[in-house]
Amino acid sequence: MPKGPRHLPTLDYVSIVASLYKDRRAMLVGMAATISGVMMAAIKTDAPLLYAVALAFVVSTAKRYYNMLAFEDHPPAPDDRASAQSWERRQMIQGTISAFIYGSWCFVSLVIVRDPFAVLVAVSVTIAAMIGIVTRNFGADRIVTSQSLAISVPMALGLVLVGDGYHMALAALLVPLMISFRFLAADVRGMLLAQVHERTVASRLAVQLDTALETMQHGLCMLDENGVIALANDRAQQTFAGIAEGSWVGRSFSDLLEEAIGKRALPETTADRLNRMIIQQEGGKIVMKLSGDFHCEVTISSRGDRTVLLFENVTARIRAQERINFMARYDGLTGLPNRAYFTEQVEAELASRQRIGRDEPVLLAIIDIDDFKHVNDTLGHLAGDRVLSETAVRIQTVMHRNSRLARLGGDEFVIYRAQHTDSETIQAEVEAILSILRRPFEVGGERADVDASIGFVSSADPHIGLDELITRADLALYSAKARGKGQYQAFVAEMDSDFRYRQRLKSDLALAIAQDELKLFYQPLVDLGTRRVAGCEALARWTHPELGPIPPDVFIGLAEETGQISAITRWVLRTATAECVNWPKSVSVAVNVSARDLRGEDLAMHVSEALEASGLAPGRLEIEVTETALIEDREGAAAKLELLAANGIGIALDDFGTGYSSLSYLHGMAFSKLKIDRSFIAGITTSERSLKLMANVARLGRDLDLVLVAEGVETEDQLEAIASHTTIDQVQGFLFGRPMPADETRELIASMNQADARPRGAKARRPALVSK
């Protein structure tokens, strides 16, 4: 082991130096015995030198004593090595002086006094002092060495000077004695340092453990073999704050749980389970819900006969998990179960119903807000959200108490019920829902009037699944909307066959488009002044190879549902522009575009490609749109139509008068033609009111410098009324021809556009197409 102080860690070195100054009373007792021995020898021999030795011991003892007092007042810090070295030097100097006095005492007694008693006292006391030096200064090797030499050299010299061989041999024996003393000091020093290290490590570990226990974010509690709390940190006791007060150490943990149960802060079942895991020394975790909304997760681990409980506050985690579960199962806007959670609940109930063989009918109803997008477009999406939230509240106030309501998504809600599903109860419920939803919604000072349509199905089939119920309710809802919206409709078997028919048509329509099986027909628009064909509207027709001609409103609607309408629009553009090139330059062609076309970004590109491929002048092409197509994205549609109009293409508003806000469309969009819906034409020959309305609409279009077209003209009387009482420019209807193939259209144009086509005396009219 290292002996020099420079080899020792500072903490160990300071500890050794401090040991040199301990127990000054023992030093005083030892020195008092020494001085007494010197005085007895001096009195017996009456030797002045011995009195001088006694005085030297007294002075040395006093200086050593005061040095120890000074050390006690100003001890070095544990990390102050320089100060410790200074105190070590002071102790070594004073100790060496004292040791030299011992050696001198022996020399004087052996060589000068030569009294047997004096020699005996001097040698025996000095040897005892050497043992004391080893035991007191064992930690400082150089102090032991210097003091041993200070004693042994004068003593050995005195023994040699006695002159006989025995004393010389005794002097020689001092060498191994000194060596043994040094080894003894080294052994004691090693034991001391080991104890110092162990104590330091233990102290450091204790501090670290205490720091860890008090700063850790979790509570910790250790139980002994009897379930008594042996250790607990503050965080653990804070877990049960207000439940189990006072110190935990020494208490039974089961008693603490009993106290919590008694204060109704902990469920008894949870406490029993936790106690059982502790007794059986089962590792694991358990979540305790204490008073209020505080959740604590307890981790139990055991080793030997000790059990450690770790308490973690998981309240935030539990709340977050609950929030995640809520978001996964409930709609964030209305607070209703979402589609996924509704599906989970209803499928479980249907499975249970199938297992027990219940035959009572179940009800599933889908509620859809009619034209809800109009609310979003006119009042904004925040207002739309409030309408949806209020809709959920209103439905819940009138629906049957056994009904389960959920939000399917968008503006659709769904109701499911497995009890009280007789037809009278169902009818009363859906009528109550429609009635309460017809009441105006007040949103941010604005009024929103909405209607809803409901489709429902009631089935006693125990094997029916949720998907089948939703499909049937959807069919009923589609039927209700087809009848005018704001109504309810129960599912009937015929709807299923209609659904299968529509599904077949969707599939076959896609095939027909891919194989170019659609045909393009044209219906003429006749100039009222010249009775010439001013243009033709291109209309797609489909003849199914097995089912025969499919009505346009059927397959066009299916194409819009499936997204195939844009492919049809591209085909019509290419075909119609290519055909129009074969007509006289005064004849234009009109192509209808859908809402999907206006939402897309490729309409202008497809129009440009068709014109470029056919070589048709842009002024001979018209794009027809309806108000219902514009309502979905008014601003986007206006921008796209403005771009087309800027390129010389005519823009026509079709079916004018059947939409929502026709006048605002006329004001804000680049229309060049206004096609008045056939509903204005029907009664003009029998009703003066209808004729005036027709004339006023025509006058409005005239004031806006639009080309006016009357649709649905079927009789000569209607034609005469229009010519005599309105400022209509063009007419379209069966009177001049039904939609016809391209070859028949060319023949009609050729026959009607001859030089004498205009009747004699007919008034001249504006050109058929006004491009803006």
The gap from C-alpha 410 to its chain's centroid, in whole angstroms, comes to 23
Residue 200 is predicted with a pLDDT of 66
Task: Please say which residue of 464, 491, 518 terminates a domain.
Answer: 491
Question: H-helix or E-strand containing 658?
Answer: none
Residue 538: the pLDDT is 95
Give the DSSP H or E segment for 248.
none
Q: In this model, does residue 619 exceed pLDDT 70?
A: yes
Q: Which of 365, 515, 369 is nearest to 441 (CA)?
A: 369
User: pLDDT of 74-122, one tens digit each?
Assistant: 888 888 888 888 888 888 898 889 889 888 998 988 889 989 998 898 8
Where is the domain boundary, 433, 462, 491? 491
Q: Which are the contacts of 8, defined by CB distance < 8 A and separation ≥ 6?
A: 2, 16, 193
Residue 769 has pLDDT above 50, yes or no: no
What span, in angstroms and rounded, lies between the C-alpha atoms of 522 and 525?
10
Q: Does residue 754 sit within a domain?
A: no
Together in a domain, 183 and 88: yes
Which SS3 state, helix, strand or coil, does residue 657 take? Answer: coil
The tokens describing 546, both together, are: 């097995």
Given pLDDT bands bounded at 50, 70 and 90, which one contains residue 663?
low
pLDDT over 80 at 658, yes or no? no
Does residue 19 belong to any structural domain of this protein?
yes
Chain centroid, CA 47 distance in Å: 101
Q: How far apart are CA 62 and CA 329, in angstroms?
A: 90
Of residues 285 and 243, more confidently modeled: 285
Contacts with 562 (C-beta within 8 Å, 6 or more apart), sequence order = 506, 509, 510
Q: How far is CA 658 from CA 675, 680, 710, in A?
A: 11, 10, 14
pLDDT of 158 strictly over 70: yes
Could you give the CA distance from residue 405 to residue 70 in angstroms, rounded to a whole number? 90
The domain of 512 spans: 505-749
Are 244 and 288 members of one domain? yes
11 and 115 part of one domain: yes
Of residues 501 and 304, more confidently modeled: 501
Supply angle C-alpha 505, 742, 610, rounded to 5: 80
φ, ψ for residue 607 (rounded to 5)? -65, -45
pLDDT confidence of residue 220: 83
Instruction: State whether 203 and 349 are in the same domain.
Output: no
Q: How many domains does the chain have?
A: 4
Evaluate whether 338 touches 423 at the Cβ level (below 8 Å).
no
Q: φ and ψ at 139, to 5 degrees? A: -75, -20
Residues 659 and 729 occupy one common structural domain: yes
In terms of Cβ atoms closer than 10 Å to its own Cβ (0-12, 13-18, 19+), residue 619 is middle
pLDDT in tens, 704-746: 889 999 999 999 999 999 998 889 999 999 999 899 999 999 9
Buried b (16+ CB within 10 A) or exposed e, 121-141: bbbebbbebbebbbebbbbbb
Q: What CATH number is associated with residue 242? A: 3.30.450.20
Pure H helices in 515-590: 552-562, 565-580
Would you say 739 and 706 are in contact if contact means Cβ atoms under 8 Å apart?
no
339 with 483, same domain: the answer is yes
| CA 322 – CA 706 distance, rounded (Å) | 62
**pLDDT value of residue 759:** 47
Tokens, residue 650: 């005519």
Question: Considering the domain boundaries, does residue 533 fall inside one?
Answer: yes
> Tokens 């030797």 — which residue?
47
Query: What DSSP line would sit under 419-447, residue for residue?
Result: SS--HHHHHHHHHHHHHHHTSPEEETTEE
Give residue 60's identity as a one-letter amino acid code. S
Residue 549 has pLDDT above 60, yes or no: yes
DSSP letters for 275-299: HHHHHTT--EEEEEE-STT-EEEEE
Is 771's pLDDT higher than 60? no
Residue 382 lies in a domain: yes
> Do 178 and 131 share a domain, yes or no?
yes
**Sequence-ordered list of residues with C-beta below 8 angstroms from that of 327, at least 6 positions apart, any chain:** none
Residue 765 lies in a domain: no
Instruction: State phi, psi for 524 to the nearest 5 degrees.
Output: -75, 150
Compute the residue count for the chain: 772
- List the CATH number of the domain containing 421: 3.30.70.270
Given this model, what pLDDT does residue 229 score? 85
pLDDT of residue 770: 31
3 state DSSP class of 199: helix
380-424: pLDDT as tens digits: 888 889 999 999 999 999 999 999 999 988 899 999 999 888 999
Under DSSP, the state recorded for 549 is E
Summary mean pLDDT of the chain: 84
Q: Which residues contact 184 (CB under 8 A, 6 or more apart)?
A: 134, 138
pLDDT of res. 208: 65
Query: In terms of domains, do 343 and 469 share one?
Result: yes
Residue 206 has a pLDDT of 61
Query: What residue type is assigned to position 1 of the chain?
Result: M
- Predicted confidence at residue 2, as pLDDT, reads 44
Do residues 315 and 337 share a domain?
A: no
Q: Give the model's pLDDT for residue 760.
A: 37
- Does some domain include residue 758? no
In terms of domains, do 392 and 313 share one? Answer: no
Q: Considering only residues 130 and 104, tell me which one the structure prediction assigns the higher pLDDT.
A: 104
CA distances from 368 to 189, 208, 427, 557 (A): 94, 67, 17, 19
Residues 152 and 34 in one domain: yes
- Round to whole Å and give the CA distance between 269 and 714: 85
Query: Is the confidence at residue 479, as pLDDT, over 60?
Result: yes
The owner of tokens 């210097």 is: 146
- 237 and 195 housed in the same domain: no
8 A C-beta contact, residue 452 and residue 433: yes
- Mapped onto helix, strand or coil, the DSSP state of residue 709 is strand
Q: Is residue 324 part of a domain?
A: no
Whether 596 maps to a domain, the answer reads yes
Q: 757-767: per-residue pLDDT in tens?
A: 444 344 433 33
Instruction: Reply yes or no on whether the pLDDT at 52 is more than 80.
Output: yes
Q: Does residue 217 carry a pLDDT above 80?
A: no
Farthest-apart Cα atoms in the chain, separation: 180
Domain boundary among the residues 436, 462, 491 is at 491
Q: Tell me how far apart the alpha carbons of residues 96 and 64 are, in angstroms, rounded to a whole number.
A: 11
Question: Which tokens is 511 given?
Answer: 């095939």
CA 229, CA 311: separation in Å to the nearest integer?
Answer: 14
Contact 31, 62 (CB under 8 A): no
